[in-house]
């Protein structure tokens, strides 16, 4: 051939340059709508779906002849372009034996039976049937018989063959004699080969694929040289190759349609490969959308538009490459259009590997199979779809424990299920790629993609099921991901007295805006000289009133937001560094304490109970929320920080304690200790436990009798699922995670159920100590857990009034059931304690219609209700995280105050759940009786609720009174001569500068 092979290049980069968007106006494709979405507006349909596929869905696995058959020159087979390509490059990276599928085809059928497959997608070796590629020399009888046996056995086992005629391994003779697909003669030669296959095997084959992913044949084979035949041709020649491939497919389809369909009743299509692209930016501009659309049109649309669309190439492709693409005549358009009985899709790493950097094109690769399926639905009229190739690869050293492959397979299959159930895409089959490990084209044996492991160094080439095969087998048995009793919603209500709360981090102390009233001691003369000025009366000092909580306008605005949620509890944190800037009692910020006291008292006026956190670490270096001097002294690695914390707690208990029913000493000490990973996280954790213990004992000894509050700390409590459910090591690692995450901080206080025996507490879990010791013995670690002294054991044991957990996700996913499992784990280990969920929420980037948060609140509270009613967990409260957005992740129920804070849609959802106390059988459940404290403050509620109206009424009354007084005084002035008017203003208030009191001097 005239083309030569170039050095290896990034083919996709070249293609995107070739097909770049330069502002050219393109015809509108319906698929563009997929990129025009509200950023962050996630919905329930985007979460993991528990449902099943339609009855009769085809579950299959696939392979190709060159990758797996081996026997490259056995039993009369002729060489292919891939045989020649690999032999000329490296004698090590060849597929001469590969998986030995030609010899072990029976084991492959057994592997299919093992996973329960209902279909098998495989390709015929063209050069095994016709060694020189043409039918003129007659078929190779041995090769023909091989596929007869394979198809017969598949049908016997109830497995539907999906047969591909051409999967890249063109007979070498056709390349050498004709120049391969450059030569339009191959259109007729391919048609003759296809007709022979239809005539020979068609009675038992229902699904035919003419060729697999012609894009890679044309581009990688004839343009970049990454694939066989290794050519480096001009774009014009590459487009000619593609043109001939499309015409060859169309002719074969018509051959089947005219001569074989009436008797065989089969279906014919062509497998087209695709990727998915997303704009780099969150917001999709029109230019971003255009680039992504053109990227899809330049790959998938290049072949799909002529066949599944209008019979011609995409307009954008023609505009970007003027004069390069061959033209279809009107007759050819009619000949090509509609030549597919279903849409066959390949979606996987061969189409684009995500490590290729495409930032300069404003795009990024996304493994979103659902979006790709929807693009096909929108662009091509929702055809029936068979996924003929999908999967991923593992590095060769992974062996049978292919955890990443399971994760991606689960993700891909669920995306297909979402497309079927939520979007109405007509997918009727799924093919996992591949059945067995084989030769992976340009990657040789460096990666593996099979469900079954093959040892390429062993002559036996035995098929060993990987964990991904076990997973896929279960998916096939279940026909998807059916919901279980655990995943179904229940009806019911939470008990009266359940805490419905909102949680926040450190409360921002905002001394402004500030509206002091009645604090000016001066008396003023007004209009003494007729100029309307105010002048103070010398020597007169009036009595003023002290500072009031109503002076802090920020508190009122903050609580107005809180009341809108319907919550009856509010958790917020004090700022240790603000109250004690030096870390000790030498300097106390009394104004900050007054602000916090005002917040607490204003909460209680509104019948909202406070839960106050004493120390809320920022989790940001350098100070981690500590006063600077304490951090400089070593932070929580220094035992003196424990004593400083005790002094701080005593101050807060004394100043705020009379109004606080619930205290959290430290927020997430299990996360804070990890900040010291570079030094000694276990020592830091030890000191945090001792700090809480000291604070609890202090409160119990000096304040509990008078104040009666409960004291605890809150732990971050993610749930963890085994990454690979079929590996015992992963299950053990999951349990170990919970021991480190929770038990290390709870066992010292509460004991625990440890290896089927009760652990009385006062120490860390024995399993953790033993695990760390094993790592030390192997030289993998030098860490160890500190030991409690006997006196410390006695102090620690029992120094916890309830268990408080913050739960947001299950590791790697948003799984509502994870919260229920955490609660159940805590109940079983700690003998039915009282549990408060002190923070739970989700980052939802939607500005108002936060559908993800609405779903989160509804589904996670469902799991809490199940834990309470079904599992018997003593859950006493749920605090939604958090009230208002600030910066970074958007967890707020209200938008940021910087953007005129307003409620998101989730506020009404949460308020409705609170009003019904959960999910009652009827619209309204039995209302709880008000407590004595609430009942006695009914007047308070009325005053607060109608505050603006009452204020307006008082203003009118005062105005009328003052107006009457003025009239009376004016009347007297006329009668008694000159009079002066004295006034005292409301300094800084709404009435500043107007007469407050008027009388005669």
Q: pLDDT tens for residues 761-801?
A: 789 999 999 999 999 999 888 889 999 999 999 999 999 99
Question: Which residues are paired to 160 by β-bridges?
Answer: 119
Query: Which residues in 24-125 belong to E strands, given as ranges?
Result: 51-52, 58-62, 119-123
Q: Which of 34-48, 339-353, 693-707 has the lowest mean pLDDT?
A: 34-48
Instruction: Choose among 539, 614, 619, 605: nearest CA to 578.
Output: 614
304-332: burial string, b at 16+ Cβ within 10 Å, e else: bbbbbbebbbbbbbeebbeebbeebeeeb
Q: Is the pLDDT of residue 980 over 70?
A: no
Has residue 995 got a pLDDT over 90? no
pLDDT surpassing 80 at residue 867: yes
**End-to-end alpha-carbon separation of the chain, Å?**
116
Q: Is residue 490 part of a domain?
A: no
CA–CA distance, 79 with 128 (Å, rounded to integer): 8
Is residue 256 domain-shared with residue 327, that is, in the same domain? Answer: yes
Has residue 722 got a pLDDT over 50?
Answer: yes
Residue 354 is assigned to a structural domain of this protein: yes
Confidence of residue 810 (pLDDT cuts 50, 70, 90): low
Q: What is the pLDDT, as a whole number, of residue 486?
A: 75
For residue 704, whether the previous peptide bond is cis, meaning omega lies within 30 degrees of 0, is no
Q: What is the pLDDT of residue 7?
A: 35
| Nearest Cα to Cα of residue 483 among 954, 48, 899 | 48
| Domain of residue 392, CATH code | 3.20.20.80
Residue given tokens 């697909």 in the structure block: 181
Q: Are residues 297 and 369 in the same domain?
A: yes
Distant-in-sequence, close-in-space partners of 560: CB < 8 Å, separation ≥ 6: none
Does 494 map to a domain? no
What is the structure's pLDDT at 355?
41
DSSP for 257-304, written as a single string:
HHHTHHHH--EEEEEEEE--EEESSSS--HHHHHHHHHHHHHHHHHHH
Residue 14 has pLDDT above 60, yes or no: no
Is the pLDDT confidence value at 5 over 60? no
Establish if 1 belongs to a structural domain: no
Return the higher-pLDDT residue of 263 and 679: 263
142: closest CA among 155, 130, 132? 130
Q: Which pLDDT belongs to residue 967?
A: 72
Out of 940, 963, 981, a domain closes at 940
pLDDT at 858 over 80: yes
Q: How far is CA 383 from CA 33, 304, 309, 378, in A?
A: 18, 12, 11, 10
Q: What is the pLDDT of residue 736?
A: 92
Range of the domain at 331: 11-483
- 306 pLDDT band, cuts 50/70/90, is very high
pLDDT at position 22: 36
Question: Is pLDDT at 290 greater than 70 in this prediction?
Answer: yes
Q: Which residues contact 291 (CB under 8 A, 6 or more apart)?
A: 20, 21, 277, 279, 361, 362, 363
367 and 277 part of one domain: yes
- Is the pLDDT score of 893 beyond 50? yes
792: tokens are 């410390």
The number of angstroms, rounded, from the C-alpha of 808 to the middle of its chain's C-alpha atoms is: 12
Structural domain contains residue 59 = yes
d(CA 266, CA 209): 11
What is the reported pLDDT for 619? 67
pLDDT for 913-925, tens place per residue?
Answer: 999 999 998 765 4
Tell me the pLDDT band of 647, cut-offs 50, 70 and 90: very high
Structure tokens at 163: 């047969």
**pLDDT score for 974:** 61
Same domain, 750 and 762: yes
CA–CA separation, 343 vs 427, rounded Å?
9
Res 547 pLDDT > 90: no
Residue 275: name the closest of 211, 398, 364 by CA. 364
The DSSP line for 308-369 is: HSSSS--HHHHHHSTTTS----HHHHHHHTT--SSEEEEESTTT--TTS--GGGTEEE---H
Determine what percent of the chain is predicted with pLDDT higher than 90: 69
Residue 492 forms beta bridges with which residues? 919
Using one digit for the tens of pLDDT, what is the confidence trace for 236-281? 999 999 999 999 999 999 999 999 999 999 999 999 999 898 888 6
pLDDT of residue 965: 72
Taken in order 417, 423, 424, 427, the sign of the CA dihedral is: negative
Conformational region of residue 831, where left means phi above 0, alpha means psi within -120 to 50, and beta covers everything else: left
Tell the burial category of 647 from Cβ atoms under 10 Å away from its Cβ (0-12, 13-18, 19+): middle
Q: 150-154, 936-940, 990-994 — which is least confidently predicted?
A: 990-994
- Residues 6 or more apart from 134 whose CB is under 8 A from it? 173, 174, 189, 192, 193
Judged by DSSP in three states, 143 sits in helix
- At which residue do the structure tokens 């990890």 appear? 674
Domain match, 772 and 667 both: yes
How many Cα atoms sit within 13 Å of 741 on the Cβ side?
18
What is the rounded distance in angstroms from the CA atom of residue 393 to the CA atom of residue 903?
46
526 and 401 in a common domain:
no
| Number of domains making up the chain | 3
- For residues 558 and 414, membership in a common domain is answered with no
Quote the pLDDT of residue 756: 52
Question: Domain check: are 345 and 272 in the same one?
Answer: yes
Rounded Cα gap, residues 574 and 589, in angstroms? 12
For residue 300, pLDDT over 50 is answered with yes
Residue 27 has what pLDDT?
39
> Taking Cα atoms as reference points, which of 616, 615, 589, 611 lies closest to residue 600?
611
- 327 and 395 assigned to the same domain: yes
* DSSP string covering 358-373: -GGGTEEE---HHHHH
Q: Is the pLDDT of residue 25 over 50?
A: no
Please check the confidence at residue 943 and state whether its pLDDT lies above 70: no
> How does pLDDT run across 195-232, given as a tens digit for each residue?
999 999 999 999 999 999 999 999 999 999 999 999 98
Distance separating alpha carbons of residues 998 and 972, to the nearest angstrom: 13
pLDDT at position 897 over 50:
yes
Residue 687 has phi, psi (to 5 degrees) of -65, -35
Question: What pLDDT score does 991 carry?
Answer: 38
Q: What integer pLDDT is reported at residue 545 of this predicted model?
A: 61
Confidence (pLDDT) at 990: 36
Contact 56, 313 (CB under 8 A): no
- Helix or strand holding residue 104 (H, E): none
Question: For 121-125, 493-497, 847-851, which range has the lowest pLDDT when averaged over its residues?
Answer: 847-851
pLDDT for residue 624: 86
Please tell me which of 17-31, 299-313, 971-985 the model is most confident about, judged by mean pLDDT. 299-313
Question: Does residue 649 belong to any structural domain of this protein?
Answer: no
Q: Which two tokens stand for residue 375?
A: 């693009």
- Domain end call among 918, 940, 962: 940
Mean pLDDT, rounded, for 367-371: 95
Q: Which residue has the tokens 């002091």?
A: 516
Confidence of residue 953 (pLDDT cuts 50, 70, 90): low
pLDDT tens digits along 404-439:
999 999 999 999 999 999 999 999 999 999 999 999
- Share of residues in the chain with pLDDT > 70 (%): 85
Q: Is 266 among the domain residues?
A: yes
**Using 50, 70 and 90 to split pLDDT, how confident is the model at 932?**
very low
Q: Are residues 591 and 443 in the same domain?
A: no
Distances (CA, A) of 134 to 66, 112, 166, 624: 19, 33, 14, 75
- State the chain's mean pLDDT as an integer: 87
Spatial CB neighbours of 665, under 8 Å, sequence gap ≥ 6: 613, 614, 615, 649, 691, 692, 695, 696, 711, 712, 713
171 pLDDT above the threshold of 50: yes
Q: Please tell me the predicted confidence (pLDDT) of residue 789.
A: 95
933, pLDDT greater than 50: no
SS3 653: helix
Name the band, by pLDDT with cuts 50, 70 and 90, for residue 899. Answer: low
Say which residue, 569 or 350, is predicted with more confidence: 569
Q: 280 and 331 share a domain?
A: yes
Given 3-state DSSP classes, what are the helix, strand and coil percentages for the chain, each rounded to the nearest 5? 45, 15, 40
Residue 5 lies in a domain: no
pLDDT of 516: 54
Q: Are residues 456 and 562 in the same domain?
A: no
């Amino acid at each position: 051939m005239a083309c030569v092979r170039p050095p290896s290049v990034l083919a996709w980069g070249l293609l995107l340059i070739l097909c770049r968007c330069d502002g050219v106006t393109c015809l509108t494709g319906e698929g563009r709508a997929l990129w025009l979405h509200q950023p962050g507006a996630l919905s329930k349909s985007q979460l993991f779906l528990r449902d099943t596929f339609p009855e009769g869905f085809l579950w299959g696995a696939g392979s190709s002849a060159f990758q797996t058959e081996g026997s490259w020159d056995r039993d009369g087979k002729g060489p292919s372009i891939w045989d020649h390509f690999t032999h000329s490059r490296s004698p090590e990276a060849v597929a001469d034996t590969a998986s030995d599928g030609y010899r072990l085809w029976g084991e492959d059928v057994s592997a299919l039976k093992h996973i329960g497959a209902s279909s098998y997608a495989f390709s015929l070796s063209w050069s095994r049937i016709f060694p020189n590629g043409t039918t003129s020399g007659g078929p190779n009888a041995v090769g023909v018989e091989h596929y007869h046996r394979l198809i017969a056995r598949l049908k016997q086992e109830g497995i539907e063959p999906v047969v591909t005629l051409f999967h890249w391994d063109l007979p070498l003779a056709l390349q050498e004699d004709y120049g391969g697909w450059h030569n339009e003669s191959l259109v007729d030669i391919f048609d003759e080969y296809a007709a022979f296959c239809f005539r020979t095997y068609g009675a038992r084959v229902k699904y035919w694929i003419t060729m697999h992913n012609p894009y890679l044949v044309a581009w990688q084979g004839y343009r970049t040289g990454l694939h066989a035949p290794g050519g480096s041709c001009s774009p014009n020649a590459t487009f000619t190759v593609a043109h001939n491939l499309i015409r060859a497919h169309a002719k074969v389809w018509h051959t089947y349609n005219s001569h074989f369909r009436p008797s065989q009743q089969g279906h014919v299509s062509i497998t087209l490969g695709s990727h998915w692209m997303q704009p780099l930016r969150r917001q999709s501009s029109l230019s971003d959308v255009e680039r992504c659309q053109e990227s899809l049109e330049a790959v998938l649309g290049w072949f799909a538009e002529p066949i599944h669309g209008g019979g011609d190439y995409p307009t954008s492709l023609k505009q970007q490459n003027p004069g390069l693409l061959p033209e279809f005549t009107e007759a050819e358009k009619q000949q090509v259009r509609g030549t597919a009985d279903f849409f066959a899709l390949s979606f996987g790493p061969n189409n684009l590997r995500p490590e290729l950097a495409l930032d300069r094109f404003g795009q990024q690769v996304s493994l979103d199979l659902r979006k790709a399926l929807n693009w096909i639905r929108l662009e091509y009229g929702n055809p029936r779809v068979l996924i003929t190739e999908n999967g991923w690869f593992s590095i060769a050293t992974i062996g049978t424990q292919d955890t990443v492959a399971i994760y991606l397979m689960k993700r891909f299959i669920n995306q297909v299920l979402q497309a079927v159930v939520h979007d109405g895409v007509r997918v009727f089959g799924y093919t996992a790629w591949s059945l067995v490990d084989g030769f992976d084209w340009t990657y040789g044996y460096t990666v593996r993609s099979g469900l079954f492991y093959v040892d390429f160094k062993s002559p036996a080439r035995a098929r060993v099921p990987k964990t991904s095969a076990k997973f896929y087998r279960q998916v096939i048995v279940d026909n998807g991901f059916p919901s279980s009793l655990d995943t179904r919603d229940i009806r019911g209500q939470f008990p009266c007295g359940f805490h419905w709360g909102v949680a926040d981090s450190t409360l921002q102390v905002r001394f402004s805006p500030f509206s002091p009233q009645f604090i000016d001691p001066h008396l003023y003369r007004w209009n003494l000289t007729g100029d309307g000025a105010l002048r103070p009366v010398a020597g007169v000092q009036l009595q003023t009133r002290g500072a009031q909580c109503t002076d802090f306008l920020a508190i009122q605005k903050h609580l107005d937001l809180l009341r809108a949620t319907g919550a009856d509890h509010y958790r917020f944190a004090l700022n240790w560094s603000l109250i004690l800037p030096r870390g000790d009692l030498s300097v106390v910020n009394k104004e900050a304490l007054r602000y916090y006291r005002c917040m607490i008292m204003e909460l209680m006026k509104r019948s909202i109970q406070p839960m106050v956190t004493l120390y809320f670490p920022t989790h940001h270096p350098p100070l981690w929320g500590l006063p600077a001097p304490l951090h400089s002294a070593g932070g929580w690695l220094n035992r003196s920080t424990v004593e400083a914390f005790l002094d701080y707690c005593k101050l807060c208990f004394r100043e705020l304690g009379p109004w606080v029913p619930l205290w959290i000493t430290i927020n997430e000490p299990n996360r804070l200790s990890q900040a010291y990973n570079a030094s000694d996280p276990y020592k830091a954790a030890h000191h945090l436990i001792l700090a809480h213990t000291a604070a609890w004992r202090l409160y119990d000894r000096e304040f509990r009798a008078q104040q009666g509050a409960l004291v605890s700390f809150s732990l971050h409590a993610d749930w963890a699922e085994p990454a690979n459910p079929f590996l015992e090591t992963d299950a053990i690692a999951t349990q170990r995670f919970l021991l480190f995450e929770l038990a290390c901080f709870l066992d010292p206080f509460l004991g625990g159920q440890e290896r089927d025996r009760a652990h009385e507490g006062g120490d860390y879990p024995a399993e953790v100590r033993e695990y760390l010791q094993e790592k030390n013995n192997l030289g993998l670690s030098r860490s160890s857990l500190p030991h409690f002294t006997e006196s410390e054991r006695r102090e620690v044991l029992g120094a916890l009034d309830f268990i408080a957990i913050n739960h947001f996700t299950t590791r790697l996913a948003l799984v509502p059931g994870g919260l229920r499992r955490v609660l159940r784990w805590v109940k079983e280990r700690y003998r039915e304690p009282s549990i408060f969920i002190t923070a739970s929420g989700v980052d939802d980037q939607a500005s108002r219609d936060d559908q993800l948060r609405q779903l989160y609140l509804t589904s996670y509270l469902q799991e809490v209700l199940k834990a309470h009613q079904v599992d018997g967990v003593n859950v006493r409260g749920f605090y939604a995280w958090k009230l208002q957005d600030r910066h970074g992740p958007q967890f707020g129920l209200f938008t940021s105050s910087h953007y005129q804070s307003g409620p998101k849609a989730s506020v009404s959802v949460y308020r409705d759940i609170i009003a019904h106390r959960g999910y009652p059988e009827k619209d309204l459940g039995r209302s709880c009786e008000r407590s004595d404290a609430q009942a006695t403050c009914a007047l308070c509620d009325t005053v607060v609720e109608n505050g603006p109206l009452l204020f307006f009424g008082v203003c009118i009354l005062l105005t009328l009174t003052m107006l009457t007084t003025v009239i009376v005084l004016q009347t007297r002035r006329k009668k008694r001569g000159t009079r002066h008017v004295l006034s005292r203003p409301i300094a800084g208030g709404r009435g500043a500068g107007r007469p407050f009191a008027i009388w005669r001097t």
